Amino acid sequence: MKTYRIGIMPADGIGPEISESTKRILDESLGKHFQGSLEWIELPVGWQALEQNKPPLPRETLDELEKCDAWVMGPHDSASYPEAFQQSLNPSGAIRKHFDLYANIRPARTVKGLGDSRKNFDLVIVRENTEGFYADRNMHLGIGEFMPHPDTALAVGVFTRNACERIARTAFELAMIRKKKVSLIHKANVLRTTYGLFLECCEKVSRDFPEVAVNDFHIDAVAALLVREPEEFDVIVTTNMFGDILSDLTAELAGSLGMGAALNAGSLKAMAQAAHGSAPSLRGKNLANPCGLILSSAMLLQWLGNRDQNPGLIQAADAIESTVYRTLEFRGRSQDLGGSLGTRELTDAMLMELQNS
Mean pLDDT, to the nearest integer, of 157-166?
Answer: 94
Among the listed ranges 2-16, 86-100, 177-191, which one has the minimum average pLDDT value? 86-100
Give the pLDDT of residue 308: 94
pLDDT digits 0-9 by tens, 62-79: 999 999 999 999 999 998
Give the pLDDT of residue 60: 97
What CA–CA distances, in Å, run from 113 to 109, 258, 304, 342? Answer: 12, 16, 32, 19
Q: How many CB atoms lie within 10 A of CB 202?
A: 24
pTM for this predicted structure: 0.93
Quick check: 137 and 96 in contact, CB under 8 A?
Answer: yes
Q: What radius of gyration, in Å, describes the C-alpha atoms of the chain?
A: 20
Percent of the chain with pLDDT over 90: 83
Give the CA angle between residues 290, 294, 299 to the nearest 5°.
150
Backbone φ and ψ of 194, nearest 5°: -70, -55
Contacts of 19 (CB under 8 A, 6+ apart): 8, 9, 10, 11, 72, 74, 293
Complete domains list, the chain, with CATH: 1-106+265-357 (3.40.718.10), 116-253 (3.40.718.10)
Give the pLDDT of residue 116: 58
| Mean predicted lDDT score pLDDT of the chain | 93
Give the pLDDT of residue 106: 97
Quick check: 144 and 158 in contact, CB under 8 A?
Answer: yes
Give residue 299's pLDDT band: very low, low, confident or very high (50, 70, 90).
very high
pLDDT digits 0-9 by tens, 211-265: 999 999 999 999 999 999 999 999 999 999 999 999 999 999 988 899 999 999 9
Give the pLDDT of residue 136: 59
pLDDT digits 0-9 by tens, 137-151: 667 776 778 899 999
Give residue 156's pLDDT band: very low, low, confident or very high (50, 70, 90).
confident
Q: Does residue 339 register a pLDDT over 70? A: yes
Number of residues that make up the chain = 357
Give the pLDDT of residue 138: 63
Percent of the chain with pLDDT over 70: 97
Quick check: 263 and 303 in contact, CB under 8 A?
Answer: yes
End-to-end CA distance of the chain: 25
Q: Annotate 277-308 with b (16+ C-beta within 10 A) or e (fewer).
A: bbbbebbeeebbbbbbbbbbbbbbbbbbbebe
Mean pLDDT, to the nearest integer, of 262-277?
Answer: 96
Mean pLDDT, to the nearest integer, of 46-52?
Answer: 95
Give the pLDDT of residue 17: 97
Give the pLDDT of residue 117: 56
Contacts of 43 (CB under 8 A, 6+ apart): 7, 8, 9, 61, 64, 65
